[in-house]
């Protein structure tokens, strides 16, 4: 009788411990899912964009300009981390304007307003950051045709006014 009582106590104890372990693991899984940071201060990107998709978009923009996160995002000196929500750097606002400009161009000339990907972003079938930047953050004046004498000759001797459109080829920087 005592052995059965001890076995019953051990069985109940093991059952309770296994229940606690299952509950704890379920709680940690939920916390891990909830720990994905919610993006804040989004002004031109979809408010419901996932963290993964936001990182993909930002990665594409950074690669198109040949920059890293700190080009547009300020550093929080207290936490020593990048403050992605901050609007302290003017480059962030410029990126927003450039994104909206590309969206307008694409809507007007490429009719991409009806061609969005699964997260509501423009498909890359038209103009985007890389179209002009080609991995360069600041398009220097030297890369565009000089004013005054007019742009260089394009097809048929006509100046077209922009690189890749018949104007002067981009000039290399001299040391």
Max CA-CA distance within the chain?
Answer: 108
Q: Is the dihedral of CA 78, 62, 54, 56 positive or negative?
A: negative
State the DSSP code for 83.
E
Distance CA 126, CA 44 (A): 18
| CA angle, residues 32, 70, 36, in degrees to nearest 5 | 10
Question: Rounded to 5 degrees, what are φ and ψ at 65?
Answer: -105, -5
Contact indicator for 65, 94 with CB cutoff of 8 Å: no
Name the residue ranges covered by the structural domains of the chain.
51-138
Strand 81-83 to strand 74-76: parallel, antiparallel, or no bridges (unpaired)?
Answer: antiparallel
pLDDT tens track, the chain, 175 positions: 566 666 777 777 777 777 787 777 777 666 655 677 788 899 999 998 999 999 999 999 999 999 999 999 999 999 999 999 999 999 999 999 999 999 888 888 876 555 666 666 655 567 889 988 888 898 875 465 555 544 444 444 333 334 333 334 444 444 4
Contact indicator for 129, 61 with CB cutoff of 8 Å: yes
Neighbours of 151 (CB within 10 A): 19
């Amino acid at each position: 009788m005592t052995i059965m009582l001890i076995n019953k106590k051990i069985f109940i104890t093991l059952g309770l411990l296994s229940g606690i372990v299952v509950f704890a693991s379920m709680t940690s899984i939920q916390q891990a899912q909830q720990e994905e940071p919610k993006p804040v201060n989004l002004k031109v990107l979809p408010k419901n964009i996932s963290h993964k998709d936001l990182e993909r978009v930002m990665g594409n923009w950074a690669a198109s300009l040949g920059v890293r996160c700190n080009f547009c995002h300020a550093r929080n000196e207290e936490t020593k981390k990048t403050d992605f929500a901050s609007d302290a750097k003017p480059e962030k606002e410029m990126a927003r304007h450039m994104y909206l400009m590309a969206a307008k161009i694409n809507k007007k000339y490429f009719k991409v307003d009806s061609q969005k990907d699964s997260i509501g972003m423009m498909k890359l079938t038209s103009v985007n950051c890389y179209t002009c930047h080609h991995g360069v953050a600041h398009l220097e004046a030297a890369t565009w045709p000089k004013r005054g004498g007019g742009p260089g000759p394009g097809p048929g001797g006509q100046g077209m006014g922009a690189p890749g459109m018949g104007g002067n080829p981009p000039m290399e920087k001299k040391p």
